Amino acid sequence: MSRPPQASALYDVPGPHARRRHLLYGLLSTAVLLGLAAWILYLLFDTDQFTAVKWRPFLYEGIQELLWKGLVNTLKAFALAAVLSLVLGAVLATGRLSDHRPVRWIATLLVEFFRAMPVLVMIFFIFVALKVQPLPALVTGLALYNGSVLAEVFRTGVHAVPRGQGEAAYALGMRKTQVMTFVLVPQAVRAMLPAIISQLVVALKDTSLGYLITYEEFLHAGKLIASNLDYDLPFIPVVLVISPLYIGLCMLLSWSATWIARRERRDPRTKGVDVAPAAPVPTLPGRE
C-alpha cells in the first residue's frame, strides 16, 4: 500500500536530498490530513451527533432485529441476483457464441441493450410498469444487467483460451458442445474468475437500489431508524453504523477477487509446464 513502485517511468530513484524532501512533504501532508479528520470529528461533536439519545436506538433489540432483517434481505437479493445473472450470462454467452446467425443476433441485441440501459430504469420499469413486487423487480433488473455484462466476460474468456486448445479438441473428434463444456469453458472460467467476482461486487452494491423501490433492505432499515423523531433523527449515527458494514461486505468480495487473481498467477496449472523430452515408447499398447 505504501511501498513505492519498484521502477516507475515517472521519476528516478530518489537520492538522499529528495528522500528528505519527501519525508518533509509526507509529514506536512499527514498533519493536514489529521487536521482534516479532526475538523470532521469536531463538526460531528459540534452538531451533537454523539449524544446518547441518538445512539440509544442501537441498543434496542427491536431495532437490532430490524437492521439484521435488512441485512438478510440485502444478502437474499444479492444471492438471487448473483445466481440468476450467472445463469443468464451463461445462456447469453452461449447465444453469442452460437453457430446460428439468428441466435447470435438476438443474443447480441439483448446483451447490448441491457448493458446500455441504466439498471435503475430497468428496475423501475419492472416495478412500476409491470407492477411486480419489489424483491422480484430488483432481482430481475440486477440479473438482466449483470447477466449481460457477465455474458461478455464469459465470451471474452472463451476467446482468450489459446486457439490450439479448441483445435486439438476438434481434432480428437469432439463435437462443439463437448469442446465447449470439457475444454474451453473450464479454462475460461478459471481465467475469468476475478472478473466474474468483480461483477458480483457490482451486483451486491446495486442491491441498495432496492431502497428506492421500497424493498426492505439494509439501507431501508437504516432510513426507518434515521427518520425516527424519538431519537432526535439519528441520521449520522445510522450512516456511521451502516456504511462500514456495507463497504466491508463489498470489500470482502473485492478482496477475494484479487486474492483469486493472485493465486491464479502462482498456480502451476496455469503456467507453462516443462514437458519431458519425448522418449521412445512402445509403438503398440500392451507390448512391454
Partner 1 sequence: MDVLTENFSLYGEGFLGTLELTVYASALALVLGFVMAAFRVAPVGSFRVFGTVWVTVLRNTPLTLLFFAVMLGLPRFGLVLPFEVFAVLALGCYTSAFICEALRSGINTVPVGQGEAARSLGMNFTQTLGTVVLPQAFRSVIPPIGSTLIALAKNSAIAGAFSVTELLGTYKTLSELGYNIIWTFVWIAVGYLIITLAISAVFNLMEKRWGVTR
Q: Does 250 bind partner 1 (CB under 8 A)?
A: yes
Q: Does 121 bind partner 1 (CB under 8 A)?
A: yes
Query: What is the C-alpha separation between 250 and 146, in angstroms, rounded?
Result: 16
Q: Contact region for partner 1 (CB under 8 A) — 12-20, 76-84, 156-164, 186-194? A: 12-20
Q: Does 9 bind partner 1 (CB under 8 A)?
A: yes
Query: What is the C-alpha separation between 133 and 145, in angstroms, rounded?
Result: 18
Rule CB under 8 A: which of 122-161 touch partner 1?
124-125, 128-129
Between the alpha carbon of residue 243 and those of residues 14, 115, 184, the distances in Å are 39, 28, 40
Rule CB under 8 A: which of 42-61 touch partner 1?
43, 47, 49
Query: What is the C-alpha separation between 261 and 238, in angstroms, rounded?
Result: 35
Query: Which of helix, strand or coil describes residue 173?
Result: coil
Nine-digit cell string for 99 = 453457430
Q: Does 2 bind partner 1 (CB under 8 A)?
A: yes
Between the alpha carbon of residue 73 and those of residues 135, 204, 238, 245, the distances in Å are 9, 12, 18, 14
* Per-residue binder mask for partner 1 (CB under 8 A), 14-33, x = binder: x---x---x--xx--xx--x
Site residue total, partner 1 (CB under 8 A): 54
Q: Is 173 left (phi over 0), alpha (psi -120 to 50) or beta?
A: left
- For partner 1, which is the closer residue by CB, 148 or 187? 148
Query: What is the C-alpha separation between 159 and 41, in angstroms, rounded?
Result: 52
242: Cβ–Cβ under 8 A, 6 or more apart, which residues? 67, 218, 219, 222
* Per-residue binder mask for partner 1 (CB under 8 A), 173-212, x = binder: ----------------------------x--xxxxxx-xx
Contact positions vs partner 1 (CB under 8 A): 1-2, 4-5, 7-12, 14, 18, 22, 25-26, 29-30, 33, 43, 47, 49, 116-121, 124-125, 128-129, 201, 204-209, 211-212, 219, 222-223, 226, 235-236, 239, 242-243, 246-247, 250-251, 254
